[in-house]
Amino acid sequence: MSAAPSSPSNVAPASADVVIDLRRASFGYGERPTVTDATLTVRRGEIVVVLGPNGSGKSTLMKGILGLNERTEGTLTLFGVPGDELRDRARLGYVPQRHTLSTSVRATAEEIVSTGRLPRIGWLGRLRATDRQIVARSLDVVGLADRAATEVSTLSGGQQRRVLIARALAGQPDVLIMDEPTAGVDAANQHVLADVLERLVERGVTMVIVTHELGALERLLTRIVVVDGGRIRFDGTPERYAAQRGSVHHDHDSHHHDDELGAHPSGVTIGPLDVPHDGSRR
Amino acid sequence: MIDLLSIDFMQRALVAALLVGTVAPMVGIFLVQRRLSLIGDGMGHVALAGVAVGLVTGVAPAWTALIAAVVAAVVIELLRTRGRTNGDVALAVIFYGGIAAGVVIISKSADGTPANLMKYLFGSILTTTSSDLYLFAGLAVLIAVTTWALRPRLFAVANDEEYARAVGIPVLPLNIVLAVLTATTVVVAMRVVGLLLISALMIVPNAASQLIARSFSGALRWAIAFGLVSSVGGVALSYPLNTPSGGTIVLLAVGLFMVTAVVATARTQLSRRRHDIAETHAHEHGIECGHEAIPHGDHVDYVHDGHLHAAHESHYDEHGHESLDGDPSDPSDPTDRPSTTGATGATGTAGTTRTTTGTAR
């Protein structure tokens, strides 16, 4: 044991830090998967932005991780446990994309955020003082402490988005998975949202943020994953992304024309209108 | 009223009204939340088939109605979950099949007079038997306890089904429980309210409470209050008026809804006139926002350029100028310099806004 080589011991603690581990996974509804061959590892403390245009499959990928759609191929490991066997699902803090909260009945921000606490309390149990404190703190983190008793439908879109973030925080998750947190939010609220996310980053919260535009997230993230046409096209640091940005986006442009072209072995982009570089016909 | 209470069947009808007035809105609020306001109506249709079977076979109709409604509830919920495109049509088949079977089977029974059918469809104060009452009381307690115990989870599922699924709340079982609760409520209400009108007592009190409540728990309390007033009031009125109790109850509930709507509209108009909204600013006040926070009654005001801003809904209310009687050495926001026009305007209204802050919040 004492003579153990140094390299495996370097790997072991790293694997304990793995929050989400996807291996060659395909997700979708029915027989036709919308995301194929996705391999992705998210470690504790990372701020991963999953970037892609509308309809690229990034939401499907995220919902697949959350177990909200069908995984047709590959494996999903969450906190070292196979995805289907994870009992404590509240460890995944989900912030869905909602432009507005459901307004079919009246509910206060506090009542909505309290639902995020439910997975942490017993079936017949009620929120105790500590649970209420956690709910209050969650509202505080997103800057809505003074609106706890406000009816949610009277809040602005950005404020409602923050209510949903607080709801996920109330479950004390190990990772926050957010779907387009900044989409459809006015500039002022984008700024506030970015501040909220920054506060979460400071607290060391692991985050997976799905978005179609980097915007204010650019200064927070530690890693970028580009999804297009149902495949992961790029996975790396912001620096590497900046260097390869051109080619990554080229890929995605060509992708709209033909699924096959993005995977061209040479890595050179060829659209239907381009003259084949090597002179051969496909 | 004392006369009413001394009559046997009225006592039973009033107790039944008390039970149904409490539980129908409790279950109904989740139906409203899930936008399934009409599902109770369909279950009433199916319950009629159960009543008919009871009348023909000589079994107590309340029991056969309960079985029919609960089975229908489970089937409906499963269909809704599977439900691709034809779920809606499948529901229609079940509902109309139920009421048609009910009408046909009842016509074959000895009690199958049109008058009898009317009592089941629209309610009657004369029909509650004492054995019914024990069953209803038992069921009502069961509904109330289950709804109360599961309330946080029923709320979570109805509020955001996808989120509930993601965090591991069992969505389908809870939806089936809600469907069974709805079916059971239909049976508890079938004597005094009637199978065609029961859905109204689940929904209309909630419709009224939504107009005035500002929270889910508040809405629930108001709905139960409205439900009790309509059901007990309706039964009490139907005797001197000699009207079907179900119709009377529902008309009373609708009347309450309309009065509430008028009052609520008047109140919003009034409060809109009374409260001043601060100038729109992109800044969001909060603990670390850099503006001084001053506790003010039940809320906190933030000192913004000398004005007091209080969070209200999506905006900030103007709560007047920073008080002059406060500590003069108050280290206010360094950026605070009495800006010429804004400050004078606020000073002019400071006196009035101060006195109205209580209503504005």
Q: What confidence tens digit (pLDDT) does each residue in A245-254 have?
A: 777 765 544 4
Report yes or no on A10 lying in a domain.
Answer: no
Which residues in B lie closer than 8 A to residue A122 (C-beta atoms)? none
Top-confidence residue, B342 or A179: A179
* Per-residue pLDDT at A157: 82
Does any CB of chain A come closer than 8 Å to the CB of residue B1?
no
Q: Where are the beta strands (DSSP E) in chain A?
A: 18-29, 32-43, 47-51, 70-78, 81-82, 92-95, 175-179, 206-211, 223-228, 231-236
Cα A146 → chain centroid: 28
pLDDT in tens, A230-270: 889 889 888 888 888 777 765 544 444 444 333 444 444 44
Which residues in A lie closer than 8 A to residue B39 (C-beta atoms)? none
Distance separating alpha carbons of residues B354 and B326, to the nearest angstrom: 14
Burial class (CB in 10 A: 0-12, 13-18, 19+), A204: exposed
Nearest CA in chain B to A173: B167
Return the minimum-mean-pLDDT range out of A11-25, A114-128, B11-25, B219-233.
A11-25
- Beta-carbon neighbour count of residue A250 at 10 Å? 16
Range of the domain at A51: 16-262
CB contacts under 8 A, A 125-154 vs B, are 126-127, 140, 143, 145-147, 149-151, 154
Nearest CA in chain B to A105: B33
From the CA of B149, how many Å to the nearest CA of chain A? 6
Which residues in B lie closer than 8 A to residue A96 (C-beta atoms)? 160, 162-163, 166
- Beta-carbon neighbour count of residue A194 at 10 Å? 18
- % of chain B at pLDDT higher than 90: 47
Largest Cα–Cα separation, chain B? 91
Q: Give the pTM.
A: 0.80
- Nearest Cα neighbor of B247 from B200, B303, B295, B202 is B200
Say which residues have a Cβ less than 8 Å from residue B82's Cβ, sequence separation at least 6: none
Tokens (6 digits) for A101: 């909260």
Rounded to whole angstroms, what are the CA distances from B122 to B139, B200, B216, B229, B245? 21, 12, 31, 19, 7
The domain locations on chain B are 2-200, 293-360
Residue B319 binned pLDDT confidence (cut-offs 50, 70, 90): confident
Distance separating alpha carbons of residues A281 and A275, to the nearest angstrom: 10
Report yes or no on A112 lying in a domain.
Answer: yes
Span B284-293, average pLDDT:
66
Report yes or no on A124 lying in a domain.
Answer: yes
Would you call B286 and A150 a contact, using CB atoms and an 8 Å cutoff? no
User: Which DSSP helix (H) or strand (E) runs through A281?
Assistant: none
> β-strand A175-179 against A92-95: which pairing, if any?
parallel
Residue whose structure tokens are 């139920």:
B98
- The DSSP-derived string for A140-182 is HHTT-GGGTTSBGGGS-HHHHHHHHHHHHHHT--SEEEEESTT
Q: How many residues does chain B have?
A: 361
CATH at residue A138: 3.40.50.300
pLDDT in tens, B86-112: 667 888 888 999 999 998 998 888 777
Distance separating alpha carbons of residues A121 and A135, to the nearest angstrom: 13
Rounded to whole angstroms, what are the CA distances from B218 to B225, B231, B313? 11, 20, 17
Report yes or no on A74 lying in a domain.
Answer: yes
Span B13-34, average pLDDT:
94
Span A67-72, average pLDDT:
87
Distance separating alpha carbons of residues B84 and A104, to the nearest angstrom: 23
Report yes or no on A253 lying in a domain.
Answer: yes
Would you call B285 and A191 a contact, using CB atoms and an 8 Å cutoff? no
Residue B128 binned pLDDT confidence (cut-offs 50, 70, 90): confident
According to CATH, the topology of domain B2-200 is: ABC transporter involved in vitamin B12 uptake, BtuC (1.10.3470)
Classified as helix, coil or strand, A226 is strand
CB contacts under 8 A, A 82-111 vs B, are 87-90, 92, 94, 96, 98, 101-102, 104-108, 111
Tokens (6 digits) for B271: 């409060």
* Per-residue pLDDT at B2: 57
* Per-residue pLDDT at B81: 80
User: What is the interface pTM, i.e. ipTM, of the complex?
Assistant: 0.80
Give the ranges where B213-339 is alpha helix by DSSP (H): 216-241, 245-274
Would you call B282 and A187 a contact, using CB atoms and an 8 Å cutoff? yes
CB pairs under 8 A between A and B: 114
